[in-house]
């Protein structure tokens, strides 16, 4: 049995991708069961598996910088407010000036955290919750599940959701300059999926004529540092590097990484594992050409491959080896023209291809053997005009087109597609005399599958006095039904049920409210507080369409039936303890309920606290971060013969620590540990156990 692998074209945006065959070693076929005739080496027919895959904003030109120090110095709090951000309005503005609050995790914080991927980085971010599954890590934002959170790279939509979750652990952070987070409905700017908010990964640009950086780490996974699953390879391996150049008119950067994690198992009484043995490799390249001050071009290509292996065990005792291979190829090309002061025209095209292969091999039998190959192709094109008028008005207009095609044995006709056209208009208005700024925006999306979805938004910013900024916003959001919900055709005769998609589904809708305040109490203390509420309607849920009968099996389907509300508040405080040493503390209260029953939505903690001590301790010349995230009790619904029973999972805390010390101007030695308290269990919290790692980072 082999997986097939995607060959990445250099210009996916200009040519259709090519596919090539590549063998992946897999276990030899099982010996024939007693009384059975030996089968050919490959005997897998693609039956239905248990799920289906549905589905630039350029930075300012880089300036030459001085030679790097062993550790970059942490910017003071007021400098963080002056960072340039783009996600909240799709135009470059200072973080303190935008009407839509934008949280930023800068490059210094990324490096000090020691996070190996985006999921680890966001673990201690207030208002965010990492949701682990057997396929990876999703982001829950202010109580809203991963399907309501849009992930972008340089403002471009990232595809590759498995079911409803996009695995953020696949992003290595090697090429990321900063992470921008906007909470609340953002469909006015980005269309579907941005109900809960947007996370935008802004890529790095070279700062010097020649620069290079890298990281090599090795470690162990398990309660005592031992690998929890004997799947081969090291417990933890991490090798990554990048190189770049900044010339007069050309910037170029390339990076690559390889990561391996052994799987883990919280319950050794069974053969099933809780965490997959994972190997991930990625590479990307960025090229920017600025022939003159009015014109610039930008292109980016990337490829990621992720292999996972785990063991499953059914209630009847059948044991299967489960393998996944996900491949993601992505390319974008954009051109920006600034013909005169205050006018900017951006044209862009973006294409991506996600391939998901699933192989299940039952031990000592073939009844549960299956193979599935699904491919999701996405194309986007857009044109955006920004026009500044009289220094107090900024008008932005954009038109965007999207085409998506899914090929999978799990959809009704084996292949389905959709087209979507979006038109956006936004007006930023500053009133200097009153220190008030207003933003009015509206968007209309027309989708070939469900019709029309409007998304208005209004936001305001007021600075009543120096150091205090108040913001308020109200907006609509929507999530388009995915291919699984629309076209799924799945039959499980061994259990006796069928699942059918519903092509008449309408999009899920939300109405969101946000209030926030940022206060710089002193040079050493800053405070941020916010309140939020989102009202969701037409939620898509699984329904029982037909009960089992002698002539037909039990049949499930999808429908727009549920309503829910999520609301709460967040508080974060940042203390500058000494020069270069900071303490960030946060608390989030989230109340998410089903409107029909009044019950809390499962899996969500109402109370969550975070803390991070980061910076540089100068007497020892040691740099690092101690990060803590604490979650309260979480309700879960469990099915049993008597119906659905609600249970409660206990509180837990995750503690991560990284320490680094420079031994040469270009070489730093580090040690780190994640989940040091070894939080986790097989039922409610199947996260990676305690793991330790040591290594070196290089910077030139």
Tell me: the pLDDT tens digits for 439-487? Answer: 999 999 999 999 999 999 999 999 999 999 999 999 999 999 999 999 9
Show the 3-state SS of 13-75. Answer: CCCCCEEECCCCCCCCCCCCCCCCCCCCCCCCCCCCCCCCCCCCCCCCCCCCCCCCCCCCCCC
Tell me the per-residue pLDDT of 573-627, one tens digit each, with 9 for 90 and over: 999 999 889 999 999 999 999 999 999 999 999 999 999 999 998 888 999 999 9
Provide the pLDDT for residue 121.
Answer: 95
Tell me the per-residue pLDDT of 366-376, one tens digit each, with 9 for 90 and over: 988 989 999 99
Tell me the per-residue pLDDT of 151-204, one tens digit each, with 9 for 90 and over: 999 999 999 988 788 999 999 899 999 999 999 999 999 999 999 999 999 999
Long-range contacts at 270-273 (CB < 8 A, ≥ 24 apart): 270/313, 271/311, 271/313, 271/319, 272/310, 272/311, 272/312, 272/313, 272/319, 273/228, 273/229, 273/310, 273/311
Please determine, for residue 10, whether its predicted confidence score (pLDDT) is greater than 50: no
Tell me the per-residue pLDDT of 245-301, one tens digit each, with 9 for 90 and over: 999 999 999 999 999 988 888 888 888 888 889 999 999 999 999 999 999 999 999
pLDDT > 90 in the chain, percent? 70
Provide the pLDDT for residue 28.
Answer: 42
What value does the mean pLDDT take over residues 360-367? 91
Please determine, for residue 8, whether its predicted confidence score (pLDDT) is greater than 60: no
C-beta of residue 209 within 8 angstroms of C-beta of residue 247: yes
Kindly tell me the sign of the dihedral angle through the C-alpha atoms of 681, 657, 116, 200. positive
Q: What's the token pair of residue 517?
A: 């305040």
Provide the pLDDT for residue 494.
Answer: 62
Provide the pLDDT for residue 52.
Answer: 33
What value does the mean pLDDT take over residues 345-355? 98
Q: Return the biggest CA–CA distance within the chain.
A: 89
Please determine, for residue 661, whether its predicted confidence score (pLDDT) is greater than 60: yes
Q: What angle do CA 682, 686, 691 make, to 5 degrees?
A: 115
Average pLDDT score, the chain: 86
Provide the pLDDT for residue 641.
Answer: 67
Cβ contacts of 186 within 8 Å, gap of 6 or more: 88, 150, 194, 197, 198, 457, 475, 477
pLDDT > 70 in the chain, percent? 86
**Quick check: pTM over 0.85?**
yes
Provide the pLDDT for residue 227.
Answer: 40
Please determine, for residue 40, whether its predicted confidence score (pLDDT) is greater than 80: no
Tell me the per-residue pLDDT of 229-243, one tens digit each, with 9 for 90 and over: 443 445 789 999 999
C-beta of residue 369 within 8 angstroms of C-beta of residue 362: yes
- Residue 2 or residue 155, greater confidence: 155
Provide the pLDDT for residue 267.
Answer: 83
Place of tokens 């979650």: 631
Of residues 178, 189, 162, the one with CA closest to residue 482: 162
What value does the mean pLDDT take over residues 331-352? 97
Cβ contacts of 5 within 8 Å, gap of 6 or more: 20, 21, 22, 24, 305, 325, 327
Q: How does residue 638 score in pLDDT terms, banded at 50, 70 and 90? A: confident
Of residues 698, 696, 678, 697, the one with CA closest to residue 688: 678
Of residues 272, 291, 186, 195, the one with CA closest to residue 229: 272
Q: How does residue 43 score in pLDDT terms, banded at 50, 70 and 90? A: very low
Please determine, for residue 643, whether its predicted confidence score (pLDDT) is greater than 90: no
DSSP three-state, residue 107: helix
Q: How does residue 135 score in pLDDT terms, banded at 50, 70 and 90? A: confident
Tell me the per-residue pLDDT of 303-312, one tens digit each, with 9 for 90 and over: 999 999 999 9
Give the burial string for 338-363 (b: 16+ CB within 10 Å, else e): beeeeebebebbbbbbbbbbbbbbbe
Tell me the per-residue pLDDT of 507-542, one tens digit each, with 9 for 90 and over: 999 999 999 999 999 999 999 999 999 999 999 998
Of residues 679, 617, 694, 626, the one with CA closest to residue 656: 626
What value does the mean pLDDT take over residues 640-660? 89
């Amino acid at each position: 049995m082999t997986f097939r692998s995607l060959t990445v074209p250099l210009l996916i945006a200009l040519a259709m991708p090519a596919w090539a065959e590549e063998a992946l070693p897999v276990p030899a076929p099982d010996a024939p069961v007693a009384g059975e005739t030996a089968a050919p080496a490959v005997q897998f027919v693609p039956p239905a598996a248990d799920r289906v895959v549905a589905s630039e904003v350029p930075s300012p030109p880089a300036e030459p910088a001085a030679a790097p120090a062993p550790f970059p110095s942490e910017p003071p709090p007021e400098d963080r407010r002056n960072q340039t951000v783009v996600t909240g309005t799709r135009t470059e503005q200072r973080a303190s000036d935008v009407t839509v609050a934008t949280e930023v995790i800068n490059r210094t914080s990324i490096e000090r955290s020691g996070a190996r991927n985006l999921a680890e980085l966001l673990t201690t971010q207030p208002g965010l919750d990492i949701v682990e599954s057997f396929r990876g890590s999703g982001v829950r934002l202010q109580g809203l599940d991963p399907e309501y959170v849009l992930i972008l790279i340089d403002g471009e939509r990232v595809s590759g959701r498995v079911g409803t979750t996009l695995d953020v652990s696949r992003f290595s952070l090697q090429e990321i300059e900063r992470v921008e987070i906007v909470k609340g409905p953002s469909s006015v700017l980005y269309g579907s999926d941005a109900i809960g908010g947007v996370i935008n990964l802004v890529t790095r640009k070279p700062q010097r004529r020649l620069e290079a950086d890298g990281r090599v780490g090795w470690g162990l996974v398990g309660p005592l540092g031992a690998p929890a699953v004997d799947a081969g390879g090291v417990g933890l391996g991490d090798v990554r590097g990048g190189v770049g150049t900044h010339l007069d008119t050309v910037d170029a950067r390339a990076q690559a990484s390889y990561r391996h994690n052994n799987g883990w198992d919280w319950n050794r009484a069974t053969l099933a594992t809780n965490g997959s043995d994972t190997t991930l490799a990625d590479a990307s390249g960025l090229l920017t050409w600025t022939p003159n001050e009015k014109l610039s071009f930008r292109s980016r290509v990337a490829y990621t491959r992720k292999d996972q292996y785990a063991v499953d065990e059914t209630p009847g005792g059948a044991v299967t080896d489960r393998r996944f291979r996900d491949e993601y190829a992505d390319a974008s090309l954009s051109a920006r023209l600034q013909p005169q002061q205050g006018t900017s025209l951006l044209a862009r095209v973006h294409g991506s291809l996600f391939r998901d292969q699933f192989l299940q091999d039952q031990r000592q039998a073939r009844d549960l053997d299956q193979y599935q190959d699904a491919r999701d192709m996405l194309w986007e094109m857009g044109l955006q005009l920004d026009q500044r008028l009289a220094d107090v008005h900024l008008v932005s207009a954009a038109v965007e087109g999207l085409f998506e095609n899914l090929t999978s044995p799990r959809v009704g006709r084996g292949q389905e597609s959709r087209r979507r056209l979006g038109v956006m208009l936004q007006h930023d208005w500053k009133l200097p005399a009153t220190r008030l700024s207003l933003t009015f925006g509206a968007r209309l999306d027309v989708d070939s599958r469900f019709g029309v979805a409007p998304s208005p938004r209004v936001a305001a910013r007021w600075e009543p006095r120096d150091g205090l900024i108040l913001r308020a916003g109200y907006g609509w959001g929507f999530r388009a039904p995915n291919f699984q919900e629309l076209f799924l055709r799945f039959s499980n005769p061994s259990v006796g049920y069928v699942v059918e998609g519903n092509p008449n589904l309408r999009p899920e809708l939300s109405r969101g409210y946000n209030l926030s305040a940022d206060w710089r109490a002193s040079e050493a203390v800053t405070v941020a507080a916010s309140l939020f509420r989102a009202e969701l309607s037409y939620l898509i849920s699984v329904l029982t369409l037909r009960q089992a009968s002698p002539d037909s099996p039990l049949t499930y389907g999808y429908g727009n039936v549920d309503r829910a509300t999520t609301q709460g508040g967040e508080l974060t405080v940042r203390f500058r303890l000494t020069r270069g040493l900071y303490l960030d503390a946060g608390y989030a209260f989230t109340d998410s309920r089903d409107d029909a029953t009044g019950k809390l939505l499962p899996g969500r903690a109402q109370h969550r606290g975070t803390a991070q001590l980061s910076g540089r301790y100068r007497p020892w010349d040691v740099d690092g971060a101690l990060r803590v995230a604490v979650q309260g009790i979480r309700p879960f619904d469990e099915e049993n013969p008597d119906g659905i029973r609600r249970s409660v999972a206990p509180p837990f805390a995750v503690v991560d620590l990284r320490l680094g010390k420079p031994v040469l101007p270009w070489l730093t030695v580090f040690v780190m540990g994640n989940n040091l308290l070894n939080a986790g269990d097989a039922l409610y919290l199947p996260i990676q156990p305690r793991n330790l790692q040591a290594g070196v980072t290089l910077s030139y």
